[in-house]
A and B are shown apart, each in its own frame.
Chain A
Amino acid sequence: SYELTQPPSVSVSPGQTAMITCSGDILSKKYGYWYQKKPGQAPVLVIYKDSERPSGIPERFSGSSSGTTVTLTISGVQAEDEADYYCQSIDNNNSYYVFGTGTKVTVL
């Protein structure tokens, strides 16, 4: 099975930039997706196909891809961005999804 590895935690001051990485071999062939997850709430898709932003998602959220790593960048972090973030992709045969290990973003 495939694995997607994220750092357990990232801390950032308000107004600064947070970067969250997600690494896995499959990401060199398949797109990465990013979800924001707050306690007691459903996940929210914030980036799809590596760098596309769904409507309604603030412009401070952006995504990029390089080799086997995708990166979520939150520019000008706000207190409301404190949450867990998960990357996600699909296997080579387009048959099963896999989520990353998750990163807790703390706004200091």
Chain B
Amino acid sequence: QLQLQESGPGLVKPSETLALTCSVSGDSVSSYSYSWGWVRQSPGKGLEWIANIYYNGRTYSDPSLRSRVTISVDKSKNHFSLNLRSVTAADTAVYYCASGSSRVNDGFDFWGRGTTVTVSS
């Protein structure tokens, strides 16, 4: 069974870069059987998709965040990462890493527990 665990700073200053990592256990991030992604939920708001990365290295991100987002995979550490540049208070949220199996295809059937990130000076 695939398991995901987010890690990263709980507090980030405005204009800095938010860097989060998702550790994967139960399978390899190199597996073609999964997509890997990030989703967030700001206080009082709904779920917001951020970005995905696939086994072939292709990445996709929400158009509203695309200019600030980088998603990447580190095969040696079996994890994938999110960098969000130039953060503001609007980026305060619970950030979830997630994975979609080939069975599910274009959704996420595995989720991390989430990590809370606050943007504040």
Question: What is A's interface to B at a CB cutoff of 8 Å?
Answer: 1, 30-31, 33, 35, 37, 42-45, 48-49, 54, 84, 86, 88-90, 94-102
User: How many B residues, CB 8 Å from partner?
Assistant: 26
In the complex, A43 Cα to B94 Cα: how many Å? 12
Indicate if the CB atoms of A94 and B106 lie closer than 8 Å.
yes
* One of B19-27, B75-83, B108-116 contacting the partner: B108-116
A99-B47, A101-B46 are known contacts. Are A45 and B107 too (CB-CB below 8 A)? yes
Cβ of A86: which chain B residues have Cβ within 8 Å of it? Answer: 46-47
Question: What is B's interface to A at a CB cutoff of 8 Å?
Answer: 37, 39, 41, 46-49, 52, 60-64, 96, 98, 103-109, 111-114
Cβ of B52: which chain A residues have Cβ within 8 Å of it? Answer: 96-97
Task: Identify which of B37, B64, B103, B109 contacts A97 (C-beta below 8 A).
Answer: B37
A86-B47, A98-B49 are known contacts. Are A49 and B104 too (CB-CB below 8 A)? yes
